[in-house]
Amino acid sequence: MPNSWLQRIGDFLGGAEQAAKNRAGRTYVVKSGDTLSGIAKAMYGDAGRWPEIFEANKDKIKNPKLIHPGQELRIP
């Protein structure tokens, strides 16, 4: 039965899950040649906001000058 109440609940919950992911921020996969300032420029329009990305990813990045292709970074 299309559009059953169960399907509508699932659609609603799926939308809530996506909204939570959007609030949690985006992700970015590092490519060869990327820098945190370059990623900040691309994502925020301001290279000087790179410390925000660094702070959000301290569990993955020990040195902000050393990021590696394939790393998945949270973009707050």
CA angle 72, 47, 65 (to 5 degrees): 55
pLDDT band at 27; cut points 50, 70, 90? very high
Angle, alpha carbons 23-55-35 (nearest 5°) = 100
Average pLDDT value for residue range 4-23:
55
Structurally, how many domains does the chain consist of?
1
CA–CA separation, 57 and 48 (whole Å)? 16
Q: Is residue 15 part of a domain?
A: no
pLDDT of residue 25: 72
Residue 30 lies in a domain: yes
Q: Does 52 reside within a domain?
A: yes
Tell whether 43 is covered by a domain: yes
6 domain-assigned: no
Which of residues 55 and 13 earns the better pLDDT score?
Answer: 55
Torsion (CA) 52, 55, 57, 65 in degrees, nearest 10: 80
Q: What is the mean pLDDT of residues 2-25?
A: 56
Overall average pLDDT of the 56-61 stretch: 97
Residue 19 lies in a domain: no
Which CATH number is 41's domain given? Answer: 3.10.350.10
